[in-house]
């Protein structure tokens, strides 16, 4: 299982939220590049970067931070947040993203998202399936689509999606364990590569996600709050 630290960005700074609530913002570092370099120095190869300003906007915002991370490290970056047009995704790839994650766009403009999937291929386009009470949430988790998360994933699987990041918003930033029952249900009922996100609090949580068959696990607050050390991640990798 791939272990993928997360850097969430607001105003060019590394932050974390709780349950996606922007009012809970906590700044961990003024310079996300420093964090990315520290990850790389500890043997980490993958990074999940989210433009939280872009997520609730209508365009990519923090692309300069993405570019700085991509040019100053060799981390393989998947990038999401604010990708709502052909121009946005072009900027993300030009600034160094190896993969991009589309969540809101996949729900609100499936025709455009499928065009990206056809243009860039299933290895570079990740489906973002962020849900609250099983319903897909969009626009920085500020809106609820009413679509069941499993139905959402299975529909896109038939259209060629291979990689899915699923976040249970109720677990995000809570450091209380992942939504393993939901992830098991998704894995049982599909053939996608599932990347779990939200709730990881300790090494045992990571081991449980690996046991249920997750292809990857995204970790955020557990690192920043020193629940899991980079040395422990390095040893696990």
Phi/psi of residue 180, each to 5°?
Answer: -65, -35
Active-site residue, from 130, 168, 172, 205:
130
Question: Distance between CA 144 and CA 166 in Å, rounded?
Answer: 15
Question: Catalytic residue at 130?
Answer: yes
Query: Is residue 180 a contact partner of residue 197, using CB atoms and an 8 Å limit?
Result: no
Active-site residue, from 8, 51, 78, 88:
8
Q: What's the start-to-end Cα distance of the chain, in Å? A: 8
CA 184 to chain centre: 19
Question: Catalytic residue at 8?
Answer: yes
How does DSSP assign 10-65, residue by residue? ETTEEEEEETTEEEEEEEEES-HHHHHHHHHHTT--EEEEEEHHHHTSSS---HHH
How does DSSP assign 94-135, residue by residue? HTT-SEEEESHHHHH-HHHHHHHHHHH-TTTEEEEEEEETTE
CA 47 to chain centre: 9
* Residues carrying an active site annotation: 8, 130
């Amino acid at each position: 299982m791939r272990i993928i630290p997360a850097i969430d960005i607001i105003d060019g700074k590394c932050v974390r939220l709780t349950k996606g609530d922007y009012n809970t913002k906590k700044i961990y570092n003024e310079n996300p590049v420093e964090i990315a370099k520290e990850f790389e120095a500890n043997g980490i190869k993958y990074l999940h970067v989210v433009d939280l300003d872009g997520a609730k906007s209508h365009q990519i915002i923090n692309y300069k931070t993405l570019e700085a991370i991509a040019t100053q490290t060799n981390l393989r970056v998947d990038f999401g947040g604010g990708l709502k047009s052909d121009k946005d995704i072009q900027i993300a790839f030009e600034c160094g993203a190896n993969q991009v994650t589309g969540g809101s766009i996949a729900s609100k403009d499936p025709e455009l998202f499928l065009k990206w999937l056809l243009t860039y291929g299933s290895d570079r386009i990740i489906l973002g399936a962020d849900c609250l009470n099983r319903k897909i949430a969009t626009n920085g988790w500020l809106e609820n689509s009413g679509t069941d998360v499993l139905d959402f994933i299975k529909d896109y699987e038939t259209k060629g999606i291979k990689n899915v990041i699923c976040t249970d918003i109720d677990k995000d930033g809570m450091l209380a364990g992942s939504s393993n029952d939901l992830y098991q249900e998704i894995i049982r009922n599909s053939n996608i590569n599932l990347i779990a996100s939200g709730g990881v609090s300790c090494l045992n949580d990571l081991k449980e996600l690996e046991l249920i068959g997750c292809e990857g696990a995204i970790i955020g607050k557990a690192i920043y709050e020193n629940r899991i050390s980079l040395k422990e991640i390095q040893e696990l990798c």
